[in-house]
Protein backbone atom coordinates (compact mmCIF):
# COMPACT_ATOMS: atom_id res chain seq x y z
CA UNK A 1 0.00 0.00 0.00
CA UNK A 2 1.31 3.44 -0.92
CA UNK A 3 2.04 6.00 1.77
CA UNK A 4 -0.34 9.00 1.75
CA UNK A 5 0.88 12.35 0.49
CA UNK A 6 1.37 15.06 3.11
CA UNK A 7 -0.29 18.48 3.21
CA UNK A 8 1.41 21.49 4.73
CA UNK A 9 -0.58 23.04 7.58
CA UNK A 10 0.83 26.48 6.70
CA UNK A 11 0.31 26.79 2.92
CA UNK A 12 -1.76 23.63 2.11
CA UNK A 13 0.73 22.49 -0.56
CA UNK A 14 0.62 18.72 -1.21
CA UNK A 15 4.07 17.18 -0.68
CA UNK A 16 5.54 13.76 -1.40
CA UNK A 17 4.93 11.06 1.25
CA UNK A 18 8.56 11.03 2.40
CA UNK A 19 8.91 14.82 2.78
CA UNK A 20 10.06 16.28 6.10
CA UNK A 21 9.80 19.90 5.00
CA UNK A 22 7.23 21.59 2.74
CA UNK A 23 8.58 21.94 -0.79
CA UNK A 24 6.70 25.23 -1.19
CA UNK A 25 7.13 27.23 2.03
CA UNK A 26 9.72 25.29 4.06
CA UNK A 27 7.43 24.63 7.05
CA UNK A 28 7.83 21.39 9.00
CA UNK A 29 4.16 21.04 9.95
CA UNK A 30 3.09 18.34 7.48
CA UNK A 31 0.09 16.08 8.01
CA UNK A 32 -1.73 13.13 6.45
CA UNK A 33 -5.04 14.59 7.71
CA UNK A 34 -6.34 16.63 4.80
CA UNK A 35 -9.31 16.67 2.41
CA UNK A 36 -10.07 18.02 -1.05
CA UNK A 37 -7.55 18.61 -3.79
CA UNK A 38 -7.16 21.45 -6.25
CA UNK A 39 -4.50 21.89 -8.92
CA UNK A 40 -3.61 25.50 -9.65
CA UNK A 41 -1.73 25.98 -12.92
CA UNK A 42 -1.87 29.77 -13.33
CA UNK A 43 -2.19 31.35 -9.88
CA UNK A 44 -1.91 34.87 -11.27
CA UNK A 45 -5.17 34.33 -13.21
CA UNK A 46 -7.05 32.23 -10.64
CA UNK A 47 -9.72 33.51 -8.27
CA UNK A 48 -9.34 30.31 -6.22
CA UNK A 49 -5.59 30.91 -5.91
CA UNK A 50 -6.29 34.46 -4.74
CA UNK A 51 -8.78 33.21 -2.14
CA UNK A 52 -6.28 30.59 -0.91
CA UNK A 53 -3.32 33.04 -0.99
CA UNK A 54 -1.46 30.80 -3.46
CA UNK A 55 1.31 32.29 -5.61
CA UNK A 56 2.96 29.13 -6.99
CA UNK A 57 1.48 26.48 -9.32
CA UNK A 58 0.90 23.04 -7.82
CA UNK A 59 -1.50 20.78 -5.95
CA UNK A 60 -3.12 22.09 -2.77
CA UNK A 61 -5.41 20.66 -0.11
CA UNK A 62 -8.69 22.48 0.42
CA UNK A 63 -8.96 21.52 4.09
CA UNK A 64 -6.06 20.67 6.40
CA UNK A 65 -6.56 19.50 9.98
Q: Which residues pair with 9 in a beta bridge?
A: none
**pLDDT > 90? residue 61:** yes
Q: What is the pLDDT of residues 9-54, one digit of tens each?
A: 999 999 999 999 999 999 999 999 999 999 999 999 999 999 999 9
Whether the CB-CB separation of 36 and 62 falls below 8 Å is answered with yes
Q: Judge whether 50 is annotated as a binding position.
A: no
DSSP string of the chain, one letter each residue: -PPPPEEETTT-BEE-TT-SS-TTT----EES-EEEEEEES-GGG-HHHHHHT--S-EEEEEEE-
Q: What is the percent of the chain where pLDDT is above 90?
A: 97
10 compared with 2, residue with greater pLDDT: 10
Confirm or deny that 22 is annotated as ligand binding: yes
Residue 25, marked binder? yes
What local confidence, expressed as pLDDT, does residue 1 receive?
82
Q: Would you kindly state where each structural domain of the chain is located, as residue ranges? A: 6-64
To the question of pTM greater than 0.75 for the whole model, the response is: yes
CATH-assigned architecture of domain 6-64? Single Sheet (2.20)
Amino acid sequence: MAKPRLACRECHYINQPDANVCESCGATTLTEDWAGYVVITHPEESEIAEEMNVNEPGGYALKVR
